[in-house]
Amino acid sequence: MRTLGAVLAGGRSSRFGSDKALAMLDGRSLLDHAVAALRPHCDAVIVVGRGEIADWPRADMGPLGGIAGALIHAADQGFDQVLTASVDCVRLPADLRALLEPAPAFLETQPVIGLWPVAALHELRAMLEDGGDLAVKAFARRIGARAAESDFVPPNINSVADLDRLAGDAG
């Protein structure tokens, strides 16, 4: 199975107060950290929500818009599944693929970290067009995704204080 990694980076960072993707941690942007964290688990990695891969059907759809954009790109490029993580996922479990295979599955502690089959694109498009519950867990329920547990809980960076705490933990 060919797996495309997708960093979801199209959010407004409203809780963070500035562009979270460009925030620095240990001399590198959170975006660079997220790409590096996904790379060992995938055949290729893209960034969704900025640059050439757009959220679908438009910006400001939340994580599902980014997942839809990634699934569309994966389908066009011949990938079978997409492994997603948000731009603030700077560390991931070493056994991430083993935890999430077979797709569809997501990390219980952070549902945006998920392995989604390209075949689920039709269901996701229908959900986004309906405009109802746009939570990642609602999509997961709709396609029968499994919640995977892990002893490793990826850090969640919603504020500058969270980033400062993470930087302090590393030092």
The SS3 call for residue 103 is coil
Domain ranges of the chain: 3-170
pLDDT in tens, 126-157: 999 998 899 999 999 999 999 999 998 888 88
pLDDT at position 94 over 70:
yes
Half-sphere exposure (Cβ direction) of 25: Cα atoms closer than 13 Å? 27
What pLDDT is attached to residue 153? 87
What pLDDT is attached to residue 110? 94
What pLDDT is attached to residue 27? 92
Does the global pTM surpass 0.85?
yes
What pLDDT is attached to residue 14? 63
What pLDDT is attached to residue 169? 72
What pLDDT is attached to residue 13? 64
Structure token pair of residue 9: 């980076």
Q: Percent of the chain having pLDDT more than 90?
A: 75
Give the burial class of 108: count Cβ atoms within 10 A of its Cβ; 0-12 exposed, 13-18 middle, 19 or more buried: middle
For domain 3-170, the CATH class is: alpha beta
What pLDDT is attached to residue 17? 67
